[in-house]
Amino acid sequence: CMFPVAILAQVYPVFRFPVVSPPMSRYNESWSPMPVAVSEKEILATAERVYGVTWDEIHSYKDKMQIPILPRQMSVENLNVAHFCEDPFSALDRCMEQGIRHENRLSPFARMQVCKPHWVRFQRCLRFRDRSIMG
């Protein structure tokens, strides 16, 4: 369309501006005569199911970075593991901080999707680290 909307509204009085609907994240997506408000807990449960990672899991990465509890006979000085997962940890930490900094009300759980590849890589590294420490 080559004409600005204001000119079209003057020339054609039946021309109507599009109605902006409220964000669908607050309402149930199934049809109903009145919009049904959905709680934030339900939206979080749906996001966890869709993305395959829970909110508590993805935010507990700082606790998982610590070395596991070792047997008494095994001291920390005797560990010869060169790989302590610093790179995947820093990538996940940077992603989470960016997600928190740029969070908006329309997509409050976007960092669950954006940071999931970093979280998967971090989990894989932790499994490898723990197996190499204990074995």
Q: Decide if 127 is inside a domain.
A: yes
pLDDT for position 21: 43
Q: Decide if 108 is inside a domain.
A: yes
Q: Decide if 19 is inside a domain.
A: no
Distance of alpha carbon 106 from alpha carbon 108, whole angstroms:
6
Total count of domains within the chain: 1
Which residues have a Cβ under 8 Å from the Cβ of 125 and sit 6 or more positions away? Answer: 83, 85, 88
Structure tokens at 103: 């969070």
Q: Decide if 86 is inside a domain.
A: yes
Say if residues 109 and 43 touch (Cβ distance below 8 Å). yes
In tens digits, the chain (135 residues) has pLDDT values of 454 545 544 554 544 445 444 444 555 555 556 566 778 889 899 999 999 999 999 999 999 988 777 777 877 766 766 678 999 999 999 999 999 999 888 888 889 999 999 999 999 999 998 888 776
Which residues have a Cβ under 8 Å from the Cβ of 83 and sit 6 or more positions away? Answer: 125, 128, 129, 132
Nearest to 109 by CA among 37, 51, 28: 51
Q: Decide if 65 is inside a domain.
A: yes
Q: Decide if 22 is inside a domain.
A: no
pLDDT for position 20: 43
DSSP letter for 22, please: P
Please write the tens of the pLDDT for every residue from 7-45: 544 554 544 445 444 444 555 555 556 566 778 889 899
Domain interval for residue 80? 53-134
Distance of alpha carbon 93 from alpha carbon 61, whole angstroms:
8
Q: Decide if 88 is inside a domain.
A: yes
pLDDT for position 66: 85
